[in-house]
């Protein structure tokens, strides 16, 4: 059984490039109309446009891109609680928590692997 089938690379060039693109996207009229609606993508509550931040659904550090399909308006609270997790990992984390409460894990898992 191989343990490294998920290739997690920390690509600084990718991160730098996508951060620059994110800055440009923030200036776009598309994004401005997005935050003008004032709705946080995660909690669905309404905020002032100045209180919403651009959040990458798939984090840039995990290979996500600064494109319209990958950025959503997020309030500060949701942005903080999400951190660097992908949506799938947030679900997995919830499941893992529920699982741990039921029983002790048979195998200790080390490292950065998400599965």
With binding defined as CB under 5 A, does residue 35 bind Zn ion? no
φ, ψ dihedrals at 75, nearest 5°: -75, 165
Kindly tell me which of 15 and 39 has the beta carbon lying closer to Zn ion.
Answer: 39
Kindly tell me which of 14 and 26 has the beta carbon lying closer to Zn ion.
Answer: 26
Contacts with Zn ion by CB under 5 A: the residue count is 5
CB 56 within 8 A of CB 71: yes
Q: Among 42, 56, 64, 66, which residue interacts with Zn ion (rule: CB under 5 A)?
A: 42
The minimum distance between CB 12 and Zn ion, in angstroms, equals: 29
- Chain-centre distance for alpha carbon 33: 21
With binding defined as CB under 5 A, does residue 76 bind Zn ion? no
DSSP, collapsed to helix, strand or coil, labels residue 91 as helix
With binding defined as CB under 5 A, does residue 43 bind Zn ion? yes
- Of 2-10, 50-58, 61-69, 70-78, which part binds Zn ion (CB under 5 A)? 70-78
Which parts of the chain are beta strand (E)? 52-56, 71-75
Q: Please list the residues that pair with 100 across neighbouring strands.
A: none
With binding defined as CB under 5 A, does residue 75 bind Zn ion? yes
User: Rounded distance, CA 77 to CA 40, Å?
Assistant: 10
The minimum distance between CB 52 and Zn ion, in angstroms, equals: 9
């Amino acid at each position: 059984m191989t343990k490294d089938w998920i290739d997690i690379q920390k690509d600084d060039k990718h991160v730098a490039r996508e951060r620059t693109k994110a800055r440009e996207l923030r200036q776009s009229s598309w994004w401005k109309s997005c935050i003008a609606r004032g709705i946080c993508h995660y909690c669905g509550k309404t905020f002032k446009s100045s209180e919403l931040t651009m959040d990458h659904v798939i984090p840039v550090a995990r290979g996500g891109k600064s494109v319209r399909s990958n950025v959503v308006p997020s309030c500060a609270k949701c942005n903080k609680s999400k951190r660097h997790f992908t949506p799938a990992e947030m679900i997995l984390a919830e499941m893992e928590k529920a699982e741990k409460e039921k029983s002790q894990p048979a195998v200790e898992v080390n490292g950065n692997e998400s599965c």
